[in-house]
Amino acid sequence: MIAPAGVRALAVVSLLAISALAGCGRGDDAKKDGARGDARTVAKTSARERAERRGYDGAPPVIPHQNFGVECMSCHNDRGMQVEGVGFAPPMPHAVTAGLSDIARCRQCHVFRETDEIFVASDFRGLAQDLRRGRRLNDMTPPVIPHPVFMRENCYACHAGPAAREEIRCSHPERARCQQCHVEENATDLFTP
């Protein structure tokens, strides 16, 4: 898909920001910030914490912040938004999915956590996120997309911008047509007769 101009600009800017900061020796300070572990910042969330928000890889995450009583998309808009005291609210990965239009109900799938208690313990073990890199034919070829693209059409939501995690951060977000080089791995035939 072609990313909206806003998302492209944001991705480029975040790259600029990184190089600018790296160039002026802020790297150590940044490390210190990380060690201090400000719990309110979303982008500092570890892979483990992120995984715990999901029942399994592919399940919609529960909402990690409190209910601010505002429309979800006032922060999770098409560029994402830095929210004072909270962190970066990434854009929606599925802005263009059929059935999920601008007026769709986010909380049909994403719910708040009202308690940490559970009703009954569970033996459920969900599919864990595979943090290995996508499979490649050889070192020179671009990796395939290891997850379904359905409902994750906006690659930038997770792979670029301030909230993108190190392990899946794209090195070349300025090349806007991701699926020109990365294709969906499609090895999931149903075992129906």
Instruction: Tell me: does residue 115 bind other proteins (CB under 8 A).
Output: yes
8 Å CB contact between 3 and 176: yes
Around Cβ 149, how many Cβ atoms within 10 Å?
19
DSSP summary character for residue 36: H
DSSP summary character for residue 32: H
Compute the distance between CA of residue 14 and CA of residue 185 in angstroms, rounded to an integer.
Answer: 28
Instruction: Tell me: does residue 120 bind other proteins (CB under 8 A).
Output: yes
For the bound state, the minimum distance from the C-beta of residue 2 to other proteins, rounded and expressed in Å, comes to 19
For the bound state, the minimum distance from the C-beta of residue 179 to other proteins, rounded and expressed in Å, comes to 17
Instruction: Tell me: does residue 77 bind other proteins (CB under 8 A).
Output: no
Residues in region 5-64 near other proteins by CB under 8 A:
9-10, 13-14, 16-18, 20-21, 26, 30-31, 33-35, 38, 41-44, 46-48, 51, 55-60, 62
Of 168, 103, 84, the residue nearest 92 (C-alpha): 103
Q: Using CB under 8 A as the criterion, what x/- string covers residues 147-176 for binding other proteins? A: xx-xx---------xxxxxxx-x-------
Sequence-distant (6+) residues with CB within 8 A of 183 are 144, 145
For the bound state, the minimum distance from the C-beta of residue 155 to other proteins, rounded and expressed in Å, comes to 17
- Our CA angle for 51, 151, 14, nearest 5°, is 70
Q: Looking at beta carbons only, is 47 or 181 nearer to other proteins?
A: 47
Give how many residues touch other proteins by CB under 8 A: 90
